[in-house]
Structure 1
Amino acid sequence: MLLKELLNNIEVIKVKGNIDIEINDVHFDSRLIKKDNLFICIDGFKTTGHLYVRDAINRGATAIVTEKEIETDDVTVIQVENARKVMALIANRFYEEPTKQLPVIGITGTNGKTSITYMVKSILEFHGKNVGLIGTISNWIGDIEREAVRTTPEALDLQKIFAEMLKEEIDTCIMEVSSHALELGRVEGCTYIIGVFTNLTPDHLDFHSNMDNYRNAKKKLFYKTTLCNIINVDDFHGKIIADEIKKLRVPLLTFGIKEKANIYATNINVDIKGVHFDIHMPVGTRSIYVKIPGIFTVYNIMPAIVICYILGLSLDEICVGLNGMKGIPGRFEIIEEIKDFAVIVDYAHTPDALENILQSAKEFAKNHIITVFGCGGDRDTTKRSVMGEISGRLSDYSVITSDNPRTEDPLKIIEMIESGIKKVTDKYKVVEDRKSAIEYAMKIAKNNDIIIIAGKGHEVTQTIGKDVLPFDDRKVAIEIARKEGLI
């Protein structure tokens, strides 16, 4: 594609050189650059693409997009105000605007995004649909799974995935849309047929600074939809978003349990095997059973049902699909092999998510709840003491340990968690090594106890310093259970 075509209708500060040249690929990583490629300089959290301009030119780049002036006569230089947003628009154009042909559903919110995407994928696939998924755990193009680097990929990677989905004749793509992606412009140029808001609780405040900024980032999704927006109005921030977007031409559907909504649930009954409830929709009422226990499951399954209905499935077909749905990796995942007591692995790494899973466990706990958890390093520090207080209040015993400390001192993170738990209880123990912490919890557990291992869920690595080490909570628990004769 010609460079001038890629730049059509994009605001630029200055162009130096020829734009009537052919561009056969676009990258923001100089190591991927080849002959006749366009290199886009973007600022990351640890480095900047401007440091790699000469490397890109040496590898064959014939044009550079940059926010800074570059002194070179070797290549065409396009200076812009915001390289990330321009990259998204160029990527969309380079891959021929794939979301205008591919139906894409965007899910945003603090918690529940992954669960909803997997629920919708499972129901649609049960009825023979060819489904794509982009999210935290993996990216799926039909039956092909790829590792996910981040919740929402960088714009070039994202548009390439959409283009590949079209090539593979994917019927529908369901994707998690992170607040970072919305704020940094990764999804500029994307069109969504449906947008869903789950909830908003404190997270990523190291990036957004405050909850208003966090909400406003999430809200951007609902100005990119064409068919319908679906909002949880039990959530305080959901109510605000719903009120602000109701003036849009795109229809708005609300859901909830406590507040008046278009879709709501009653007769909720939770046990360790799952949750039963009645869902009420404008088109009818159905009794629902899902094999994932917890009140949060009700909040996740309601929008999943609505999405599938909008996509053309009847309520009866959706219910049949739900019956065949498997659990979601690392989301209230019960380790079936261990019988004397329950061991549950969950991704809960925010105060709200931790409170939800502990409240759910209390509804069916026959004995004590033991919680093993930590907090990630180099991330929002404000939630650490809050999560400590939540675990102390809702657990019978807590084991505070490391999560992904990254470059922070694990003991400093643990001290912050301790400052919260001390406010409500002295029934806790600090075990810095995560494997030892899980082992300690399993050794003190009695019959009918519930052990919640929270924070990492589906993750299969642990980042300590700059080392990424193999670590899977589920596999570690099973290994310990075998060693202790519990399996």
Structure 2
Amino acid sequence: MLLATLVEHLEFSILQGDTNTNISSIAFDSREVVPNGLFVAITGFTVDGHQYIQRAVELGATAILVEKDIKVDAPITILKVADTRYAMAHTSARFYSDPTENLNLIGITGTNGKTSTTYFIKSILEQSKRTVGVIGTIGAMVGNQSLKTKSTTPTTPESLHLQHMFADMVETGVHDCVMEVSSHALSLQRTAASRFKSGIFTNLTPDHLELHNTMEEYFEAKAMLFDLTTDYNIVNIDDEYGRRLAAKISSNQAKLVTYGIENEADIRATDIRQYADYTSYIAHTPTGSIAIQSNLPGLIYVYNSLAAVACAYCNGISLDQIAAGIRAVESIKGRLEVVYQDDDRKIIVDFAHTEDSLEKALSTLRPFTKGRLLLVFGVYAAPGQLGSGKRQAMGKIAAAYSDIAIVTSDNPKDQDPDTIIAEVSAAVEAAGGTYRGIVDRREAIQYAIDISEKDDVILIAGKGHETSQVIGKTEIPFNEAEIVNEIMSSK
């Protein structure tokens, strides 16, 4: 494809060469450059792609997109743009023939609930015999088949990989794609060239403040999704930030559809009944009401399945298919997932890694725990005051809802795990809780199992679906479901 075609909708200046050159591929990692490729120099948090331009040229790049005044002693084209991330999103979309023009793309954003909402929607759409693609925290898939991807980002891939995945979906006959959209992705322009037909907002609670600095910046990052939609914006108006968002986007092109429990909304849940292993309620929509059963217990999954009801309503799905789709979701990996159960104890793994999600997980389990509620958890947060606030908040929640909190490591990365555990433990103690600090996460799980008694419930929180742990710069295998069952099989 001609470079001129790739960049025709971008504002740029030509530092050298011209745009009349054929491009065979796009790369933002210089190691992946091939002959006649376009290299996009991205300024990252720790690495500046401009430092690798010479390497890209040596590997055969014939064109470079930059943000800085660069000159290379080689017969190549260099284009300067204001934001190479934005430019990469648009050139990638064009390179892959604008695949989201041929997809019913549904984006879900919010602090908590993105993954479960995604899988509820996927199941509902599959009830109407559609082939559905999913991109999110647990991975990318079409139907039940995983998609191969080079992406290493935890939720929303870089724009180049994202557009490639969309193109693969279109090629395989996918009509609908449901995608988790992180605040990082929105801020870093990964979704800039994606055409969303619907956007969903679940909630907003403190998280990722190491990137956004304040809740206001975090909110504004999330709100960016709803300026990318064309048909529907679906918002939880029981959430304080959801109400703000609804007011902010009320005049947008996309129709505003609200959902909630406490406030009057377009889609509303009443008659909520909670049990140990499921929750039931009545969903009210403009086209009628239907009894819903979610096999994931807790009020949070009423909200998340209700968001799916709202999305399905907007997509013209029948009420019977909506109810069948939600009921068909037996479990979601790492979301209140029972990984072991016998007559004496139940062991549950959950992704809860913020104070809000930890509180919701513990408060869901508490009423149905006959014995003690044992919590194994760690806290990963940014260094400094922001991280300290999160550690103290989660320590207080652990004290309020668990009988014994075993404080351990999550993904400490370059932080000192002993320091983190000491601060969280101090918060548990200050709030009147009982705790034990154990740095090694496997040992912490072993300890919780060893001290558990009949009718106890053990919640292992923070990692959920993740199958590795990052200590320093080393990523080690760490599958909590497997670890639990290895320990139990040896008893």
Q: TM-score, normalization: structure 2?
A: 0.96
For the 8 Å contact 2:358–2:461, the answer to whether it is kept is yes
Share of identical aligned residues, percent?
41
More off after superposition, 338-347 vs 222-231: 338-347
Aligned-residue offset at 1:247: 1.4
Counterpart-to-counterpart distance in 2, 1:296 and 1:367 = 23
Q: Does 1:389 align with 2:396?
A: yes
Q: How is 1:338-417 mapped onto 2 (pairs within 5 angstroms)? A: 338-376=342-380, 378=382, 381=387, 382-417=389-424
More off after superposition, 126-135 vs 238-247: 126-135
Give 1:149's aligned residue.
152
Deviations 1:265-294 (A, max 9, x none): 112121221111111111111111111111
Counterpart-to-counterpart distance in 2, 1:71 and 1:202 = 43
More off after superposition, 156-165 vs 365-374: 365-374
Aligned-residue offset at 1:71: 2.1
Q: Secondary structure at the match of 2:38?
A: strand
Q: Does 1:138 align with 2:139?
A: yes
Counterpart-to-counterpart distance in 2, 1:280 and 1:389 = 37
Q: 2:428 aligns with which of 412, 421, 444?
A: 421
Counterpart-to-counterpart distance in 2, 1:83 and 1:367 = 56
Q: How is 1:456-467 mapped onto 2 (pairs within 5 angstroms)? A: 456-467=463-474
How much is the aligned-residue C-alpha RMSD, in angstroms? 1.4
Give 1:55's aligned residue.
55
5+ residue gaps, structure 1, are none
Deviations 1:95-121 (A, max 9, x none): 111111111000000000011111111
Counterpart-to-counterpart distance in 1, 2:391 and 2:336 = 21
Aligned-residue offset at 1:377: 5.5
Q: Secondary structure at the match of 1:229?
A: strand
Give 2:228's aligned residue.
224
Give 1:204's aligned residue.
208
For the 8 Å contact 2:15–2:69, the answer to whether it is kept is no
Q: 1:290 aligns with which of 274, 278, 294?
A: 294
Q: TM-score, normalization: structure 1?
A: 0.97
For the 8 Å contact 2:259–2:310, the answer to whether it is kept is no
Q: How is 1:21-420 mapped onto 2 (pairs within 5 angstroms)? A: 21-74=21-74, 75-146=76-147, 149-150=152-153, 151-376=155-380, 378=382, 381=387, 382-420=389-427
Counterpart-to-counterpart distance in 2, 1:456 and 1:269 = 28
Counterpart-to-counterpart distance in 1, 2:255 and 2:72 = 51
For the 8 Å contact 1:23–1:37, the answer to whether it is kept is yes
For the 8 Å contact 2:284–2:290, the answer to whether it is kept is yes
Aligned-residue offset at 1:48: 1.2
Give 2:477's aligned residue.
470
Counterpart-to-counterpart distance in 2, 1:426 and 1:259 = 35
Counterpart-to-counterpart distance in 2, 1:77 and 1:323 = 54
Q: Secondary structure at the match of 1:53?
A: helix
Judged with a 3 Å threshold, the aligned counterparts in structure 2 of structure 1 residues 393 and 337 are, in CA distance, closer, same or farther, namely closer
Equivalent residue pairs, number: 484
For the 8 Å contact 1:334–1:345, the answer to whether it is kept is yes
Amino acid at match of 2:2: L
5+ residue gaps, structure 2, are none
Aligned-residue offset at 1:318: 1.7
Counterpart-to-counterpart distance in 2, 1:274 and 1:213 = 36
Aligned-residue offset at 1:232: 0.6
Q: Secondary structure at the match of 2:430?
A: coil
Q: Secondary structure at the match of 1:468?
A: strand
Q: Secondary structure at the match of 1:354?
A: helix
More off after superposition, 460-469 vs 377-386: 377-386
Aligned-residue offset at 1:401: 0.3
Q: Secondary structure at the match of 1:422?
A: helix
More off after superposition, 302-311 vs 49-58: 302-311
